[in-house]
């Protein structure tokens, strides 16, 4: 959520931000509702103060008179009753006025609150303007010795590559048919070494984050309440993407949602808390199953392990002080952790600076990391894919947008409660990451060499197949 005060002070910045993000929200209307609400509240408060003042004087008097009434009789009783009625009637006008204001305020507030949740965080000034992912800007590339993605796979390795779909089929790593039978399109069953590799990658990535980079290992819920989805900024904009468990329709409890990333659980954890500043920055890592409806992606990436409804992901989040420089430094560090990881897996990748149009409502800045996947991209003359980068990671910098929604604060050195900054980044998401691992490390004989870093998690084995 954005800061309403800042919206009042500089509406043009927020209008431009929404425009740059291609998000349609009526900021003028927000300002009108806010203005009206503040007027009403001021008027109402003047009367409430008056009412309070009166009742502080009158209250004890009435109490005392009513006490006397219990024993009074005859004319004395009538006199007391008259006096009580007189005292009681004094604040009635005020009460009616207060109720009238209250009525109008309760009409405006839900509309204002709902609209406010839709105002996106403006992108940072150094984020390139652009309409869509096509306008993202490459920051840098990396590739291991012996595999240069600017040259065809065959030129690098001396044989024509199989796609991950071929490798999976030939090595018996995934059963799509039965999964689809059980759960529908975009589901899969990992089998044998497929499952082993999946687990190895997750465990390897998780251990690196927690053992080497000081992130606290966490397990968090993947089934959460709506507040958690709203608080972390995934709702209302991303409501279509989440699986919805309608428990309320069954008459028990409240509705729940399946989370699409471990970020929700890690950030939701401290909702409504004032964190001890000494404990910042908080660094958390989790491995969790992620659920995505992929609404609106019909027909896109329908084959294979690329776009699926359920996957597992190691996620890193950082909650730090509200300091832009610190926030930016963490962003760079978190991206560095991923680069180190991908380099240790010997996977070619590139960093993309996302443009404003690709940011999403909550980010001030986002950097995607894409791994080279030989089985993607345009087809050559022989009808074989020429390879392309595919998104495997996404690193977001949110300032206090998320923590403001979550009411996650810390007390600064002046004793003020300040909303924290938050950042999140994929560490590794599998099975999508299995695509480049299988495709890059495939051998001419159809086997796949396991990257040395993963071998300890694969029983010391060096290859799959053969």
Nearest distance from residue 14's CB to RNA, in Å?
15
| Per-residue burial over 438-451, b = 16 or more CB atoms within 10 Å of its CB, e = otherwise | bbbbbeeeebbbbb
Where does 322-362 have alpha helices with state H?
324-344
219 near RNA, judged by CB under 7 A: no
Query: Measured from the CB atom, is 140 or 249 closer to RNA?
Result: 249
CA distance 405 to 425: 19
Catalytic residue at 81? Answer: no
**Minimal distance in Å, beta carbon 8 to RNA?**
8
User: Shortest distance, CB of residue 48 to RNA, whole angstroms?
Assistant: 4
Cβ proximity to RNA, 8 vs 213, nearer residue: 8
- In 232-339 the beta strands, taken as DSSP E runs, fall at 244-245, 256-258, 274-275, 282-291, 310-320
Contact 419, 322 (CB under 8 A): yes
Is the CB of residue 436 less than 8 Å from the CB of residue 388?
Answer: no
For the question of residue 432 being annotated catalytic, the response is yes
Binding of RNA by 105 (CB under 7 A): no
Residue 108 within binding range of RNA, rule CB under 7 A: no
The answer to the question of residue 106 lying near RNA (CB under 7 A) is yes
Q: Is 466 in the site for RNA (CB under 7 A)?
A: no
Let me know if 307 is a catalytic residue: yes
Burial group, residue 321, by CB count within 10 angstroms (0-12, 13-18, 19+): middle
> Cα 49 vs. chain centroid, distance in angstroms?
42
254 binds RNA (CB under 7 A): yes
417 counts as binding RNA under rule CB under 7 A:
yes
Q: Which is nearer to RNA, 57 or 139 (CB)?
A: 57
Indicate the residue among 67 and 456 with the shorter CB distance to RNA.
67
279 binds RNA (CB under 7 A): no
CA 257 to chain centroid, in Å, comes to 13
* Both structure tokens of 166: 């071929």
- At its nearest, how many Å lie between RNA and the CB of residue 83? 12
**Which listed residue (186, 196, 376, 432) is catalytic?**
432
Alpha helices (H) in 274-412, listed in sequence order = 324-344, 401-406
6 touches RNA (CB under 7 A): no
The tokens for 353 are: 């600076």
Interacting residue ranges for RNA, rule: CB under 7 A: 4-5, 38, 41-42, 45, 48-49, 51-53, 55-56, 58-60, 62-63, 66, 88-89, 91-92, 95, 106, 248, 252-254, 274, 409, 411, 417
């Amino acid at each position: 959520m954005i800061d309403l005060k800042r919206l009042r002070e500089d509406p043009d910045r927020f209008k431009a931000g929404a425009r740059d993000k291609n998000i349609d929200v009526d900021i003028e209307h927000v300002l009108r509702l806010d203005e009206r609400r503040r007027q009403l509240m001021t008027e109402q408060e003047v009367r409430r103060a008056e009412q309070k003042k009166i009742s502080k004087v009158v209250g004890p008097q009435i109490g005392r008179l009513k006490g006397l009434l219990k024993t009074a009789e005859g004319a004395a009783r009538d006199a007391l009753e008259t006096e009580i009625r007189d005292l009681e009637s004094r604040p009635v006008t005020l009460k009616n006025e207060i109720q009238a204001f209250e009525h109008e305020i309760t009409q405006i507030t839900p509309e204002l609150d709902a609209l406010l949740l839709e105002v996106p965080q403006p992108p940072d000034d150094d984020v390139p303007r652009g309409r869509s992912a096509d306008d993202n800007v490459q920051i840098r590339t990396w590739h291991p010795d012996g595999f240069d993605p600017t040259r065809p796979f065959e030129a690098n390795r001396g044989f024509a590559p199989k796609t991950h779909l071929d490798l999976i089929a030939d090595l018996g790593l995934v059963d799509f048919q039965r999964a689809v039978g059980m759960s529908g399109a975009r589901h899969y069953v990992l089998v044998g070494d497929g499952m082993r590799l999946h687990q190895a990658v997750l465990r390897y990535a998780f251990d690196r984050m927690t053992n080497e980079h000081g992130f606290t290992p966490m397990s968090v819920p993947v089934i959460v309440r709506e507040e958690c989805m709203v608080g972390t900024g995934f709702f209302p904009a991303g409501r279509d993407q989440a699986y919805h468990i309608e428990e309320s329709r069954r008459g028990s409890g409240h509705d729940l949602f399946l989370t699409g990333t471990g970020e929700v659980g890690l950030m939701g954890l401290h909702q409504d808390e004032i964190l001890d500043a000494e404990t910042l920055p908080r660094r958390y890592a989790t491995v969790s199953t992620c659920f995505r409806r992929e609404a609106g992606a019909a027909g896109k990436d329908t084959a294979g392990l690329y776009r699926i409804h359920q996957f597992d992901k190691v996620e890193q989040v950082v909650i730090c002080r509200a300091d832009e420089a610190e926030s930016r430094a963490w962003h760079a560090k978190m991206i560095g952790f991923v680069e180190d990881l991908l380099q240790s897996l010997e996977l070619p990748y590139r960093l993309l600076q996302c443009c404003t149009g690709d940011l999403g409502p909550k980010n001030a800045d986002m950097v995607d990391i894409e791994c080279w996947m030989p089985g993607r991209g345009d087809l050559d003359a022989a009808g074989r894919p020429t390879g392309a980068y595919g998104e495997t990671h996404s690193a977001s910098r949110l300032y206090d947008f998320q923590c403001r929604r979550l009411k996650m604060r810390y007390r600064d050195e002046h004793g003020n409660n300040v909303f924290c900054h938050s950042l999140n980044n994929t560490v590794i998401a599998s099975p999508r990451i299995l695509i480049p691992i299988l495709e890059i490390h495939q051998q001419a004989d159809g086997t796949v060499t396991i990257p040395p870093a993963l071998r300890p998690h694969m029983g010391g084995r060096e290859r799959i197949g053969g």
